[in-house]
Structure 1
Amino acid sequence: MMSQAAVRQPINVMIVEDDNVTRKYLAAAIQSEPALQLVASFDSVQPALAWLVSTPVDLLLTDLGLPDGSGVDVIRACVGRWPDCGILVITMSSDEDSVLACIEAGAAGYVLKDAGHLDIVRALMDLHSGGSPISPLIARKVLGRMRDAMPASSAPASNADARSLLTRREAAILNLIARGDSYGEVARTLSVSVGTVQTHVKNIYGKLSVHSRGEAVFEAQRRGLLRMATLKAREPG
């Protein structure tokens, strides 16, 4: 009988990062994980776009500020050509407009380069398994912006109906992933398996009509489903 290891295909990863030191660090991290395979590494938009025309990729890791354009252009091209690719933004920018632009373009994760010790391998593996790694600071800033933009009169009317969509366990998981927890961290917090968490997340996505963690968090905040106190508990300092 053929073993699982014999049939398991490597997860192909592409890097787009203009800083040479950071690019080498990311490449080394990826190459240290047997499940991941670095298939391309670029320092600007145009060669990345040319490569994506004909070569499939499982995961894209991209910066935003590139010498000949924006990483958002790479994200859009990747989604258009390889819609099943998981896209993780790693950047210095915590600007809400940049975050929203990336998520609208198709990114499923957004982490900051200076967010302490960044385990890029764990973030990529979480992304590939259906998660959406997002820095807690980013989650709070964007949720705060959406909360402030909501008409005060619209929230109470929709809250009761919206809350009835989710079970108590789904609501708990939604709050944990909104504050930036990985699937593994959620599983440990709730004493369940990662597979159980993934099943609940898929149900949440279906009920909210979304396809990623970022979309789920934004839609949940719009409907008044998130407890802001839970997010504040994870704020640094």
Structure 2
Amino acid sequence: MASEGHRSERLRIVLVEDDEPIRRRLAAILAAWQGAALVAECGTLAEALQAIKAKEFDLLVTDLKLPDGNGIEAIRLLRQTRPDAEAMVISVMTDERIVLDAIEAGAAGYLLKDADSIDLIEAITDVMAGRSPISSRIARVLVRRLSERGDIAAEPAPDKPHLTPREMDILWGIAKGFTYAELAERLNMSRQTVPVHIRNIYRKLQASNRSEAVFEATRLGLIRL
């Protein structure tokens, strides 16, 4: 067991997912990742709460809709008992109230279950680096809520970065959740060229992932969701 204040070299993860096939798929992705160690797999809220109390770990990856409760309760317990650990949601739920409740409870990221293995590992890496990976559809929920509250409109109008027409096409694709392969096919371009354009978009928008890019582009008025 690692001493207090010292995190083991491998990221210790507790996974909470009630759907067994999905849990196995996510567990397999994490097991194949050399940078992580899966210390508990939970299928119910009760199991999750027990794991949070009993295990030493760095990250909680949890679904929300569980057979005996809501994963938000697990996130709240995590914040109370293990403030140094992080929490990330993987769910099919996009209801605005649930999304906001999960983030307010302490979730540092919110992915939809259509994320593939690369997205999952990238998202976990982002969370542990202090960033907040959020699926594009969830980012839209947050942008809409900020707009309703006037938080975006109240800010001074910033200078808009210049994106080329091709970069704007790719930005729209990012906002719609297309993969690199889908973007390449839709825009009739090389699969290897897409990441180059995306890196340029991230640099211009000062974003570190697709969710931040969508959020910034919306805030700046470059796109409307």
Match of 1:62 in 2: 62
Match of 1:92 in 2: 92
Give the whole-Å Cα distance in 2 for the aligned partners of 1:64 and 1:130: 22
Shift of 1:56: 2.6
Report if aligned partners of 1:187, 1:197 keep a CA contact under 8 Å in 2: no
- Secondary structure of the 2:97 match is helix
- Secondary structure of the 1:34 match is coil
Shift of 1:150: 2.6
Match of 1:201 in 2: none
Aligned residue identity for 1:85: A
From the superposition, tell whether residues 180 and 56 of structure 1 become closer, same or farther in structure 2 (CA, over 3 Å): farther
CA-to-aligned-CA distance 1:179-234 (integer Å, 9 cap, x gap): 699xx999922686xxx978xxxxxxxxxxxxxx99xx7xx9xxxx92243464xx
Shift of 1:129: 1.5
- Secondary structure of the 2:222 match is helix
1:159 to 155, 162, 185: 155
Match of 1:101 in 2: 101
- Secondary structure of the 1:125 match is helix
Report if aligned partners of 2:31, 2:38 keep a CA contact under 8 Å in 1: yes
Q: Which runs of 5+ in 1 are unaligned?
A: 1-6, 170-175, 199-212, 233-237
Report if aligned partners of 2:29, 2:117 keep a CA contact under 8 Å in 1: no
Report if aligned partners of 2:146, 2:152 keep a CA contact under 8 Å in 1: no
More helix by share: 1
Equivalences for 1:136-175 in 2 at 5 Å?
136-147=136-147, 149-150=148-149, 158-160=154-156
Equivalences for 1:102-141 in 2 at 5 Å?
102-114=102-114, 119-141=119-141
Count of residue pairs brought into register by the alignment? 186
Q: Which runs of 5+ in 2 are unaligned?
A: 1-6, 162-170, 178-194
Report if aligned partners of 2:152, 2:219 keep a CA contact under 8 Å in 1: no
Scaled by the length of structure 2, the TM-score of the pair is: 0.68
Match of 2:222 in 1: 229
Give the whole-Å Cα distance in 1 for the aligned partners of 2:197 and 2:8: 26
**Residue 76 in structure 1 maps to residue 76 in structure 2:** yes
CA-to-aligned-CA distance 1:150-197 (integer Å, 9 cap, x gap): 36xx876x423xx68xx989xxxxxx9xx699xx999922686xxx97
Runs of 4+ residues over 6 Å off in structure 1: 184-187
Instruction: Pick which of 79-88 and 20-29 moved more.
Output: 79-88
From the superposition, tell whether residues 229 and 56 of structure 1 become closer, same or farther in structure 2 (CA, over 3 Å): same
Greater relative CO (CA pairs within 8 A, separation 6+): 1
Report if aligned partners of 1:72, 1:101 keep a CA contact under 8 Å in 2: yes
Scaled by the length of structure 1, the TM-score of the pair is: 0.65
Give the whole-Å Cα distance in 2 for the aligned partners of 1:185 and 1:90: 28
- Secondary structure of the 2:93 match is coil
RMSD value, Cα: 3.7
Give the whole-Å Cα distance in 2 for the aligned partners of 1:96 and 1:45: 22
Match of 1:205 in 2: none
